[in-house]
Every structure is written in structure tokens, then in C-alpha cells.
Amino acid sequence: MDRHGLLLIDKPQDMTSHDVVASLRRSLRQKRIGHTGTLDPIATGLMVVVLGEGTKLSDYLVAEDKAYSVRIRLGLNTDTLDRAGQVLERRPVNVDLPQVQDAVMALEGEFEWPVPKFSAVKVDGEALHKRARREAEDFATPLKEMKFWDVRLEEFSGDALTVSLSCSKGSYIRTWVQQLGERLGTGAIVEELRRTRVGGWTVADSIPLSALEAAEAEENGEAFISLGAALPGYRSVVADAREARLVENGQVPRDMMGRLIPEQKHAFETGRPVYVKVIGAHGELLAILAAEPGQGLKIRRVFRLS
């Protein structure tokens, strides 16, 4: 029988995110399973895996902010913007600590940058990485808004540095590193990448994939997150037995509408939806509601755990 919830996995190097999911599907004997944000094969760190009814949370979890630690090599440019690619150019490196510190701090904020050619972004129905592998000639990629904050230079020596930073959904660390290399005039690639945080969870909460056994999935402390504890930043409203039955049938109870008037006002004032978790008497997640601007409350997801 499928489990329902989230599993925090410390992804090893040289595996795709798809490989991790396939391995867990076998070890957990789990039919419905997915992940909430791809990590490149060279990357390690936190993957939030969704199990059973937890797969209905994928769209919400993908939108969470993320944090990384990245080891950068100066003096190189590759086609994939990381060490796994073909070297396109080598440049001399002659920069000092103040130059590097200034360049790193200048790349904190919001930018409109091209997405990497080797990415899953689709143009005309085709993923860019497929086109990049098929075509020898250079081509332009779409621009995308990317946001970076809490940027810190952790270490610098010669032609290598380590930076920690947080970013919004759809922001590419490889693009950030490329921009750093251009600002320094040296070129730069990602040598090592580790995801350290997704939303409110950190890699310290996770369990290494190699250590996970099927019988242990719900016994590894904070590595397993119940559906009721998922999306901790969302407002929660507790439903009584009558309200729970209505919600399970796709109806928003009138009393619940009254308790969520502040959320409806906030949605109207900001022009953005406000999401609310409906929790049952035993802490189980029953549904996700959205207060839509000018449209009241709508049920977005209903969770059936039995």
C-alpha cells in the first residue's frame, strides 16, 4: 500500500533525479512517487520526494525557495556551464579577493537572464537540452526572471571559490555562475553543487539515499513528513466532522468561509491567491483551498488517505 507524505532525501552525486525516484519506487514498493525539483547529476543534496497523495502537492512544493552551496572554477567556459560539459574556452585568472567579493555581491538581486541551453525548458514543444545535443550551432535561449539573495562568499583561493546563496523558483545556479565569470572576465563553471534547503527544510533533516531501507521510511525522524505537516508556511484551518464531509465532497462550508475572510481580503488587496490547508481532527490534511482575488474560496486539492 502506498504511503502518503514527503520524504527528504540527500541525493548522491552522479544520479539523475529520475534515477533517485526509480530507486525509491523499488525499495519502498511505492506506485505513486515523484520529486519536486530536478537536481543535475553532478549535484548532491536535498530532494523533496512526494509519496502517494503527496504527489498532489508537487506544484506547491516546486514553488518553494531553495538554497545552495556551489563550488566554482574560474578560467573555464563549457557548453553545459558545469564540469560535465565540453570545454569551449580557457581564460587566464588574475583576480584578487576584493574583486571576487565585489563581483559576488553585485549578483544579489533580481535579474533577467537567458536560461541555460542544457535545461528542461521547452521551446516550441522541445526541451532545450535536446536541441543543444542535436545542433552544433549556437542559438539563443529565452530570458527568465531570476532572483538571488543571502549571497555569501565562503571561500576563495586561486582559481576556485565557494559561494552560498538562496534563490527563487526557476533561477539557475549555472547561469549565476556564468554571469560571475563574465563579470570577472575569467569565465566560470559549476564544479560542485549542493542543495542545502527547500522551503523550511534543510539537508540536515534528510536521509542519504544509500541508508534508506523500505521498512525504515517512516522511522527516520524528520526525514518523513506527513501530509498534515507539509507546506508549513500555509495558514491552516481545522474542520469538524461535518465540515470534513463537505470538503471531501468538494464543497467549502459556509462557517469556514466566515473564518477565512481575512485571507479573502488579502487576496483581493494583493491580486494574488492565498492558499489554506484544511486539517482534520487528527491532524490529517483534507484539502487545499485557494482564496482567489474577487472569486472567493475554491477547493484546489482534496486528499483521500483511505
23 CB-contact burial (10 Å; exposed 0-12 / middle 13-18 / buried 19+): middle
Catalytic residue among 10, 40, 82, 205: 40
Q: What is the distance between the alpha carbons of residues 272 and 282, in angstroms, rounded to a whole number?
A: 30
Residue ranges with strand state E in 58-200? 66-74, 76-78, 87-90, 109-114, 122-123, 126-127, 143-157, 160-167, 188-198
Amino acid at 1: M
Amino acid at 282: H
What cell was used for 134?
Answer: 542535436
Please say if 150 is a catalytic residue.
no
Nearest CA among 187, 155, 178, 171 for reference residue 69: 155
* DSSP assignment letter at 117: S
Phi, psi at 290, each rounded to 5°: -125, 125
The catalytic residue positions are 40
